[in-house]
Amino acid sequence: MSTKFTRRGLLRSGAAVGTSLIAGRVMAQDAALPEGAAGKLTVIQRQEYFQAAQDNFRTICEDFASANSATLDISTTNAEAFGDFLGKMSAAVRAGNPPDLAYTSNVSISQMKLLDLLEDMTDLVDEAIAQYGNVMTGINAEEFAKIDGRWWAVPFIANTTGTFIRGDKLAEKGIDPKTLTTWDARREAALAISDPDNGFYGWGLTVNQSGDGWGVATGIINAFLGHFTDETGTKVQFNSPETVAAYQWVAETYDRNGKYAAMLPPGVESWGDISNNEAYLAGQIGYTHNAFSVYAAAKRDNNPVFPHTVLLRQPDANNGDSRDGGQTGGWLTVFKGAPNADLAKQLVLDLLKPENFNKMSSVAGGLFMPAFENQWTDELIAADPNFAIIKEQVSVPEPFIGPSWPASPNAAIDAIRAQGIVEQSMGNVIAGRMTAEEAVADAHQKMVELFEEGGLPQD
């Protein structure tokens, strides 16, 4: 059996191109990406949910370009796994005019490496480690970006998906947040604090196709001990009693006629990444999983929900195993054939300088935290009572690997995410189009076909 997803298979599967359809809506194509050219430093940055950090990133790039007498072309992109960023970058590299540098988060490094889009960044990571200490152990950076012994992206940000809950609402019901260690306990708490007659809903989580939806959906599956593949990452094992149980739990949770209906905000089944931010900041929901953007915005704006926001650890698996750990929240990559690759690599190191990185970290309230150990200063940790919890999560010696568990991250599993197979199948269950057993079997078959198209036979 082949042990690696092939480049031809990835392209044939469509994981690197096209739009995605989920919950009756089409994700729009990204805007055109800029073309690289000699003498023009071309930079792409991800669209942020926190404008101040995005503006500071741009300013740092502008100052660097000015100091190096370079013309700068910088633009933003929606670099989600289900967008068409990979397809456009593949075309740009093949055409010989790729942008120089990209700052992204959810685009697969293993897929970009497989498509031969990236410059080797090992020298830059080694230099960063020499200056700022080792990469944080809890963010699984090596698992995602160190392939065949070489680094293909520079870890830029360490963060964790926050699990935020309204402590004041819990107190009204006599619920101790320390007892909310499982998905079941949190679902019951969300129902208990709900007051739909007054526009307050406990459950602010979606499983619709989005960054947050993917995290929630796979988190539930993994908590029930369901998984995509075996430990090698090459054999699909999705259709299992554990995965079916997870889907049944999801169906029960989102049943508009069932026990938990009162905790469901209107339209939560089709929410995107912005939706839960807006609802939480508006005081309409009590519990959500989100990047620290929602926390940062509440802190910045003196939002009334901020002093009542409690940060919880990740829910434990049903067997009691910890699912704790952080994640690499941002990557810096230089593209193969970039016309200004050397200058782009200098910019990478410039962005990591504490005086520059801290400009973003200081305004982002937990969204931009350091990826290297020695950048975590006492002053930084003291800036917010929850920063110490973030540091604990991104320092876990043996962090949970994430949705690829029990396998290491790889291009084949990343293709599952890009195709939206999980979210679509959960949508089928929630809408009543399929039973849990049917949806899991259907998703399993789609994964089998995806793997076989990628050169991983399943017989």
User: What is d(CA 35, CA 357) in angstroms, rounded to the nearest whole number?
Assistant: 27
Task: Say how many CA atoms lie within 13 Å of 86 toward its Cβ.
Answer: 31
Q: Which residues of the chain have pLDDT under 70?
A: 1-31, 49, 78-83
Which domains can be identified in the chain, with CATH numbers?
7-160+326-393 (3.40.190.10)
* pLDDT single digits (tens) 143-163: 889 999 999 999 999 987 789
User: What is d(CA 405, CA 32) in angstroms, rounded to the nearest whole number?
Assistant: 35
Secondary structure string (H, E, C) spanning the chain: CCCCCCHHHHHHHCCCCCCCEECCEECCCCCCCCCCECCEEEEEEECCCCHHHHHHHHHHHHHHHHHCCCEEEEEEECCCCCCCHHHHHHHHHHHCCCCCEEEECCCCHHHHHHCCCECCCHHHHHHHHHHHCCECHHHCHHHHHEECCEECCEEEEEECCEEEEEHHHHHHCCCCHHHCCEHHHHHHHHHHHCEHHHCEEEECCCCCCCHHHHHHHHHHHHHCCCCCECCCCCCECCCCHHHHHHHHHHHHHCCCCCCCHHHCCCCHHHCCHHHHHHHHHCCCEEEEEECCHHHHHHHHCCCCCHHHEEEECCCECCCCCCCCCCEEEEEEEEECCCCCHHHHHHHHHHHHCHHHHHHHHHHCCCCCEECEHHHCCHHHHHCCCCHHHHHHHCCCCCCCCCCCCCCCCCHHHHHHHHHCHHHHHHHHHHCCCCCHHHHHHHHHHHHHHHHHHCCCCCC
User: What is d(CA 351, CA 374) in angstroms, rounded to the nearest whole number?
Assistant: 16
Q: Do the bridges between strand 309-312 and strand 154-159 make them parallel or antiparallel, or are there none, so unpaired? A: unpaired
Upstream peptide bond of 406 is cis (omega within 30 degrees of 0): yes
The closest alpha carbon to 116, from 84, 77, 86, 72, belongs to: 86
Please report the pLDDT score of residue 25 as a whole number: 28
Please report the pLDDT score of residue 263 as a whole number: 98
Please report the pLDDT score of residue 1 as a whole number: 32
Neighbours of 322 (CB within 10 A): 15
Please report the pLDDT score of residue 27 as a whole number: 32
